[in-house]
Structure 1
Amino acid sequence: MNYNLEYYTNGIVQFDAAKELMQLMPKQADSVLDIGCGSGKVSHLIYEHVLPKFMLAIDSSEEMINQARLLYPDSKLLFSHQSIEQFVPDRAFELITANSSFQWYQDYDASINTIKNSLRSSGVFVLQTPYKQDWCPQVSVLMHQFFTHHYPDLGQNFKLPCMHFDYPEQYVDLFESKNFTTVSLKTRHFEYRFSGDDFRKFFMSGAYKVYTLAKSYSVAMPNRFAEDLEHFVNVKTRGNKEFEVCISRVMASFKPIE
């Protein structure tokens, strides 16, 4: 399974959450920066909502950017392979967005400083990200079964490789410590009744990446681990089974303080 190539189809929850995030965005913005644009599906949703004169969409994955360019050859957006940590703006943006990407930043001090330096004084930064360490209990149960039966030692050495605060107010504390003011903050629990195939897509759109990263473990990951996990999920989701799923997300908007 290629996570990057399948993300456009598999990112069900990320797309639904993005539609909720629209409520925190201005109805118009001349310039937009979308951080962690992936394959471009949400970026175009944002573009259609805001209708900016200029929009730049960046992602740290070159493969994702290539996918976006292939999927949207006539796009009015500019796609660029860049990480937020090293991003150097050549303009100030009225709106900066981060939908399901904030948790993956490698250096939060550098990233938030870059976001602040890339915003106009009247601009706004909006983010949507999972929160809670147990961000999806159904995934936790599935992975407990997998580790118990296949890799019990490895399971004891797993740690989330991305940042999930347990309380929404922690995002407020983080940004206000970096000279932002909080405009809005809300949480949403997305509930789904997935078919087996849709649950597989959901799992492959995020959890698969989390659990197959070498840095998620304090010991070496076996060579066949990713292949075995994909096979396990395929078997579990085969047939007409239904999966009830709940995912916790936080959505917030912040403005810079001069």
Structure 2
Amino acid sequence: MLQISRTDDVLDLGCGTGHLTQTIRSKTDGIVVGTNPTDEMIAEATHHYGKNIEFYVGFAETLDMPSRFDVIFCNSAFQWFRDPSRAVLNCHNALRPSGRIAIQAPAQANYCPNFVLATDFLKHDRETQDVFSRFRSPCR
């Protein structure tokens, strides 16, 4: 849907382990960057795909890459942003004139009912409730 061209510079915001970032890499000769707030995800992405992709640990809310990208791709990450307004502003600032963004995010709890059931269980189980006491589901 983004119609990534061979010259586009692309940011994969919330890239996880980089699998989709690698697909983006195959569509452009431009710069491809993946960001994710989790050290472990970025380590995995770098290990598997880091040869021709830049990966960084970082939050959308603190993204500071002014006018660097033609395209921003955000798949199944937007619902995790703690300050969506700030994230969108930072994305706007990261795009060049005529840049474009695609965001895919679940809109309801029934997006992944097994995820909802599992996190509810963990929040109430005696062995895991302390760890999950501050967890806020993105699906509610």
Normalised to the residue count of structure 2, the TM-score between the two structures is 0.79
Aligned twin of 1:134: 110
> How far apart in 2 are the matches of 1:103 and 1:114?
16
Aligned twin of 1:67: 44
Residues 67 and 93 in structure 2, CA contact (< 8 A), matched pair in contact too? no
Residues 35 and 96 in structure 1, CA contact (< 8 A), matched pair in contact too? yes
> How far apart in 2 are the matches of 1:116 and 1:52?
23
Unaligned runs of 5+ in 2: 126-130
Q: What is the CA distance between 1:125 and its match in structure 2? A: 0.4
Residues 34 and 58 in structure 1, CA contact (< 8 A), matched pair in contact too? yes
SS class of match (1:88): coil
Residues 43 and 57 in structure 1, CA contact (< 8 A), matched pair in contact too? yes
Residues 85 and 114 in structure 1, CA contact (< 8 A), matched pair in contact too? yes
Unaligned runs of 5+ in 1: 1-23, 156-211, 218-258
Aligned identity (percent) is 27
> How far apart in 2 are the matches of 1:52 and 1:214?
45
Residues 66 and 95 in structure 2, CA contact (< 8 A), matched pair in contact too? no
> How far apart in 2 are the matches of 1:131 and 1:43?
23
Aligned twin of 2:135: 216
Aligned-CA RMSD value:
2.6
> How far apart in 2 are the matches of 1:139 and 1:30?
35
> How far apart in 2 are the matches of 1:113 and 1:102?
13
Normalised to the residue count of structure 1, the TM-score between the two structures is 0.45
Larger radius of gyration: 1
Task: Please give the per-residue CA displacement for 1:82-122, whole angstroms capped at 9, x wherever unaligned.
Answer: 11111110543100010111111111111010011111221
